[in-house]
Amino acid sequence: MTDYFDNEWGFPVRDTPGIYERIVLEGFQSGLSWAVVLRKRPAFRAAFDGFDPERVARYTEGDVERLLADEGIVRNRRKIEAAITNARATTALTDAGLDLGEIVWSFRPDDPTAGADATDSPESHALSKALKKHGFVFVGPVTMFALMQAIGILEHRDAFT
C-alpha cells in the first residue's frame, strides 16, 4: 500500500488504457477494501488482458465464465460484466474520435485540493452522468471521486508544492 500511495496514487494518468484500468479497479473496489483490489491487481491485469479495452470489448459469455472461475480476482458477475461494458464504451468513444482521458480530465475542478475529506463532489457527479451517457456502468459519483483522486485530478501533487 505504501508503494502505491508514494509512487502512483494522485499522480496524473491521462491515457485511455490507464484510465480504463482505474475505472475497472475502482468498480471492483466498490463495497470492498482497496487493499484487496490492489493486492489482486496483477491477477486482474492478467485476467483482463492488461486492461486493453479493445481486447476486453470482444469478450464473450465464455470469458465471463472464465473470469468467474479465476480465484485471483474478485469474482462478481456484475462487476465483471461492467468491466466488459466499459471496455465497449471506451472503444465506442475512440471510434467516435473522442478520448476517454480528455473527457475524464475535463471535469477537473478549478481547485483540485478542495473537498479533500469528501467522498464526492459536483464534478464527480457530473463525470458520472457524462460517462453513463456514453454507455459506462458502475461509475457512480463516489466511485468517480475515488477515480479522480487516484489519477491526479483531485489533490494533484503539484498543488502541494
Residues with Cβ within 8 Å of 2's Cβ and at least 6 positions away in sequence, in order, are: none
**Cell numbers that stand for 140 in this block:** 457512480
Please indicate whether residue 21 is annotated as part of the active site: no
- Interatomic CA distance for residues 136 and 73, integer angstroms: 21
Q: CA torsion sign, 54 to 57 to 63 to 64?
A: positive
Please indicate whether residue 65 is annotated as part of the active site: no
- Interatomic CA distance for residues 83 and 65, integer angstroms: 14
Please indicate whether residue 4 is annotated as part of the active site: yes
- Interatomic CA distance for residues 56 and 60, integer angstroms: 9
Closest CA to 104 of 67, 57, 161, 143: 143
Catalytic residue among 8, 9, 34, 81: 34
- Interatomic CA distance for residues 144 and 153, integer angstroms: 11
Catalytic residue among 20, 21, 26, 59: 26
Contact 131, 100 (CB under 8 A): no
Residues belonging to the active site: 4, 26, 34
